[in-house]
C-alpha cells in the first residue's frame, strides 16, 4: 500500500497540520468514504473522494463558524472553553519543558 505525506510548496504551521489531521480523521469516520475506499482501487476512489471531500471542507467551515459565533455571543461557554483550553495548553507546555 502506497503512503503519501503532505508535500506542498508552502510550509505549514502546526495549526495547519492539525487542520489536515482533523480532516483526515473526519474522512476516515465518514461511512460513504469508508465504503468507497473498501470497494475501489485508489484510482477509482480518487474522484469519489474529491467530491466527498469538498462537502467535508464545507461542513468543517460551517462547524467553525458555529463555534466561533457561540464563543463570541455566549459568555459562559467562552469562559468554559477558555478554561479548558488554557489547562490543555498549560499541561502540554509543562510536560514538554
Q: What is the pLDDT of residue 67?
A: 79
Q: What is the pLDDT of residue 3?
A: 45
Q: What is the 3-state secondary structure (H, E, C) of the chain?
A: CCCCCCCCCCCCCHHHHHHHHHHHHHHHHCHHHHHHHHHCCHHHHHHHHHHHHHHHHHHHHHHHHHHHHHHHHCHHHHHHHHHHHHHHHHHHHHHHC
pLDDT digit of tens for each residue in the chain (97 aa)?
444 455 555 566 777 777 788 888 888 988 888 889 999 999 999 998 988 888 888 887 777 788 778 888 999 988 898 888 778 768 877 887 5
> What would the grid cell of residue 83 be?
478554561
Cell 459568555 locates to 75
Amino acid at each position: 500500500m502506497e503512503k503519501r505525506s503532505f508535500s506542498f510548496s508552502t510550509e505549514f504551521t502546526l495549526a495547519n497540520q492539525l487542520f489536515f489531521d482533523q480532516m483526515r480523521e473526519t474522512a476516515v469516520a465518514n461511512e460513504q468514504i469508508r465504503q468507497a475506499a473498501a470497494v475501489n482501487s485508489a484510482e477509482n476512489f480518487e474522484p469519489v473522494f474529491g467530491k466527498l471531500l469538498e462537502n467535508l471542507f464545507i461542513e468543517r467551515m460551517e462547524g467553525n463558524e458555529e463555534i466561533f459565533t457561540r464563543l463570541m455571543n455566549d459568555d459562559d461557554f467562552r469562559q468554559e472553553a477558555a478554561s479548558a483550553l488554557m489547562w490543555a495548553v498549560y499541561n502540554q507546555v509543562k510536560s514538554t519543558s
